[in-house]
Structure 1
Amino acid sequence: MSSGTPRPARWWQTRPRSTWRGSPVDENVRGLLEGRNFAHVATLMPDGAPHSSVMWAGLDGDRVMAFTGSPDSRKARNLAADGRVAISIVDSDNPYRTAQIRGHVAETRRGAEALEAMDRLAVQYTGEPFPWRTDEGTLYLIDVDWSRFAELPFTHPG
């Protein structure tokens, strides 16, 4: 294609809506976090390589909640060393609706406070309180630095 030729229209691309630091979480991103949609949470390994885990995620105000059961888990050790995270969420009913979030751990909770939040997440995802009671679990509250929602105009056959 020469420099004077216009680019073909890309009907399949949507213009994602982004929310930047200091702004509340976009209502569409919030909707995905309030549903039963699994999140892929990426942390950084000591050598800088990405580490991704599928997990439940929800909201505590404008902060994203994520939970890990053991302080010795790879995810917990990564977050202790570097609190930056990237999160992607896919709508379980329509996988062409997605959200991406970048942020950092702003607060951690343990013990009864963490279990109370974990119960809220478990009820959100399963309808029942979290069945495994442990004082070792850590709740991570993540401040959102950037988020984006995108929806493509496809129909999922499932």
Structure 2
Amino acid sequence: MTVMSRILNSIVAVCPDMGIGKNGNLPWHPIRLSNEFKHFQKMTMTPLVEGKKNVVLMGRKTWFSIPAANRPLKNRINIVLSRELNTAPEGAHYLASDFSSALHLLDSSELEKQVDQVWIIGGSAVYKFLVRFPGVPTGVQEENGVQYVFEVYESTDH
């Protein structure tokens, strides 16, 4: 089986010191940033090709940080990465032991025709494989007293 070349997108919200989480929650917990959440939903849920679905690829800790009632993330194919689990956690669509296995899974006959965009959504162990290029900030956002910035990073090393 040949692995096709695929663009991987990643999305992450960080606080000013580049933190992405704290004690299994987002850094600004319990404050809720609805615009930031809507942006995440829109980006990860909206396929570019009608009739296909986007994939959200996440580590085990990120999966279990999502409230059980919200798992799996709806209208997306949820793939959990874990070296520890032997079977996909309840609600997850697929389990992969590492990035390479996840990419092979995307090219399987079962998924290849369904999948549009692939979104890496965390956490830190999963993001570490990405190379960060200078981003394109769209300015400082402020919501409920919390400031944040949307940036786009592109990696072509896949």
TM-score (norm 2): 0.25
Higher percent of residues as strand? 1
